[in-house]
Structure 1
Amino acid sequence: MSALDMVYASGRLHYLGRAMAATCGRAGVRDDKTEGDGATPRGSLRIAALMYRPDRVAPPAPWALPIYLGDLWCDDPAHKSYNQLCRAPLKASHEQMRRADPQYDIVLITDWNWPKARPGAGSAIFMHQWRRPGAPTAGCIAMARPDIRWLASRVAPGTRLIVR
């Protein structure tokens, strides 16, 4: 482990000497992550991308990509675009990236089961704003808006996230 690693454990995310309250999946942290199980995978992940809503926030970092109308994330293990960013229309099961709520105004995308996804091993482990303080996720790691903004302005592609 390096001083530049993010570490999530027991409801806290640690990075660059700062500890932030954070939540994980409603099923907790698991070694055997599967699609739709509500768990956050234990292990070492890497930050692969950063996306933001340009109609709501300024780019949090120079490498951030805008989330456009029609941006989707495919979560259908049987589809060829499983665990990939896609565009509407998409008949396969998917998640809207441009949400009505602020959860995905800033999204750090990890490399969990990516870029070569194994069907059923789980998709879309993001870091994003939580619904409300302490609310669990479907498997992502969530935190307060000021904390995700702070984090997104400091991480770089490849930053390691260790989930314990």
Structure 2
Amino acid sequence: MKRHVISNRYGGGPTDRAATVIRIRTAAGNRQRGWLDVSGRIIPVALGRGGILANKREGDGGTPRGTFHPRQLWWRADRHPRPTTRLAIRPIGPEDAWCEDPADRRYNRPFRLRGDQPGDRLARGDHLYDFIIEIDHNTRPRIAGRGSAVFLHLARPNFGPTAGCVAMTRPAMLRLLQRIGPRTRIIIE
């Protein structure tokens, strides 16, 4: 079965009211927690177990420092109604995965799992990936070993650290989705 991106209905352009800049900073005293600032609204977030790192490497648990853009929203249509957002939306199916193997030609890209293939399965049993904002970390150029599958997604109930992503509560994610678009800059500092 072929999957298609569901385009958004908001258009964009000069009248696009999407937030233009999101800033993510480490919380004082805890490098695994942080704050996301969108249009003056502060949202608590969980960061990678390695904190924010300037020299991101595959498997280091670090959240990459830099400026990124959201590419699209991946969403569990089987669990939640379609959220309001200016981003392109793609429903997550049971075969959707992300390649984290630096030796694979599909590294840091989505692919369709067949059988027991390795990969970061997007259709998880828990709720962490019910909403995934894909960002353009390590995409142009894509460099093997510089980190993969860095997303904005939902946090664990205890707000534990991620493997390198930025995670937040479901209500915070839904508010964020209403305020961002494809031109939004995500600055992780």
Q: What TM-score does the superposition give when structure 2 sets the normalisation length?
A: 0.81
Deviation at 1:157, TM superposition (A): 1.5
Structure 2: distance between partners of 1:32 and 1:46: 19
2:76 corresponds to: 53
Q: Of 87, 104, 119, which aligns to 2:144? A: 119
Instruction: Give the distance between the partners of 1:115 and 1:68, measured in 2 at CA.
Output: 26
Q: Which runs of 5+ in 2 are unaligned?
A: 1-18, 27-33
Q: Write out per-residue CA displacement over residues 18-74 of structure 1, whole angstroms, 9 at most, x where no aligned residue.
A: 100001100001111000100011111111111100011122236211011100000
SS at match of 1:153: helix
Q: Residue 107 of structure 1 is aligned with which of 114, 117, 132?
A: 132
Runs of 4+ deviating beyond 2 Å: 90-93
**Secondary structure in 1 matching 2:179:** coil
Please, what is the CA RMSD of the aligned residues?
1.6
Paired with 1:143 and 1:156, the residues of 2 have a C-alpha distance of: 18
Tell me, yes or no, if structure 1 residue 20 matches structure 2 residue 30: no
1:69-124 deviations in whole A, cap 9, x for unaligned?
A: 10000000000100001001177641010111111111101100015410000001
Q: How many percent identity over aligned positions? A: 38
The residue type equivalent to 1:24 in the other structure is L
Confirm or deny that 1:163 pairs with 2:188: yes
Point out the more displaced range, 82-91 or 112-121: 82-91
Q: State the partner residue of 1:146.
A: 171
Matched, 1:81 2:106: yes
Q: Establish whether residue 128 from structure 1 lines up as the match of residue 144 from structure 2.
A: no
Q: If the length of structure 1 is used for normalisation, what is the TM-score?
A: 0.93
What's the offset of the Cα at 1:133? 4.0
- Which runs of 5 or more residues in structure 1 are unaligned? none
Larger radius of gyration: 2
